[in-house]
Amino acid sequence: MIISMIFWGLSWPSAKILTAYSNPVNLTIYRYAVVFITLLPILFLLKIRLKIKRKGIPFVVISALLLAVYSYFMFQGLSKGFAGSGGVLVTTLNPIFAYTFSLIIQRKRPSKNEIIGLFLGLLAGCVLLKIWGNFDSIFLSGNLYFLASALIWSIMSRFTAKSSDYGSPFSFSLWMYFLTFLVLLPFINLIDLNQNLQEIEFTFWGNVLFGGAIVTSIATTIYFYATSKLGSEKASSFIFLVPFSAAVSSWLLLGEKLEIHTIIGGLLGIAAVYMIQRK
């Protein structure tokens, strides 16, 4: 999980680089085509059954639809904003949203520590969005797309947490990725596709392979497997490793400035997750 979270952090500057080459829909289609092609032989080598129970099909379909929307918002946000800010905002707010949804669904009254944690999470979101500044800048910076991405991912994790009930979590993930690819395929931009195939650049396809084969096929699948064993709330707490990885890698690879409100918001988010998980 720790190694996977570091790869997640690296995926933000990698995905930012890709936004200069194509549109969000095409980039998502490329990624999940690579994921399916690379993950399928891995499952065969591990002798994992690809079949899932019929009752699990609705969960796969819903997860795929949510993943498609999440990926679109993520790439859209990166095309307008900074990879470091997106990596910090999405991965900091995701576990807080996941825990909030859990409390609502279970109709559970939060404890004192949970109340403090949720308050810190709300404060972290306000700082990360820098709401005291010009409100129009939030739309221009892509932060609203990142905020929507965090919400959608936390909802999706509720469905992927059920994956082990219907077969192997790895098989669940494989079909979810494949369905995400199929859902977006009718919306592909053929002009961009033709241009990307004609202008074969190592920077572009290297980052596509990194995002698909390493980050998603391996790291994200491990995350979904962990949600089935730990539950979405506890698994989400590992995500606090991603903000620093995303911010530091964006600084090193893209030269993005580490803004003070991003650092403070990230630290507040980590404190929120700590308080929520604290016994």
DSSP sequence for the chain: -HHHHHHHHHHHHHHHHHTTTS-HHHHHHHHHHHHHHHHHHHHHHTT------GGGHHHHHHHHHHHHHHHHHHHHHHHHS-HHHHHHHHHHHHHHHHHHHHHHHHTPPP-HHHHHHHHHHHHHHHHHHTTTS-HHHHHHHTHHHHHHHHHHHHHHHHHHTTGGGGS-HHHHHHHHHHHHHHHHGGG--HHHHHHHHHS--HHHHHHHHIIIIIIIIIIIHHHHHHHHHH-HHHHHGGGGGHHHHHHHHHHHHH-----HHHHHHHHHHHHHHHHHH--
Q: What pLDDT sits at residue 94?
A: 79
Contact call for residues 182 and 61 (beta carbons, < 8 A): no
Q: Is the pLDDT of residue 258 over 80?
A: no
Q: What is the pLDDT of residues 208-253, one digit of tens each?
A: 999 888 888 888 777 767 777 777 666 666 766 777 788 888 888 8
Structure tokens of 247?
Answer: 């911010």
Q: What is the pTM of this model?
A: 0.82
Longest dimension (CA), the chain: 59
Band (pLDDT 50/70/90 cuts) for residue 91 is confident
Q: Is the pLDDT of residue 77 over 80?
A: yes
Higher pLDDT, 60 or 129: 60
Structure tokens of 12?
Answer: 């933000």
Percent of the chain with pLDDT over 90: 22
Residues whose CB falls within 8 Å of the CB of residue 80, separated by 6 or more in sequence, listed in order: 140, 141, 142, 145
CA angle centred on 72, ends 66 and 75, rounded to 5°: 135
| Average predicted confidence (pLDDT) for the chain | 83
Closest of 217, 171, 225 to residue 49, by C-alpha: 171
Q: What is d(CA 270, CA 226) in angstroms, rounded to the nearest whole number?
A: 20
From its phi and psi, is residue 23 left (phi > 0), alpha (psi between -120 and 50) or beta? Answer: beta
Higher pLDDT, 226 or 35: 35
Q: What is d(CA 200, CA 263) in angstroms, rounded to the nearest whole number?
A: 37
Higher pLDDT, 128 or 6: 6
Residue type, 188: I
CB atoms within 10 A of CB 218: 17
Q: Is the pLDDT of residue 165 over 90?
A: no
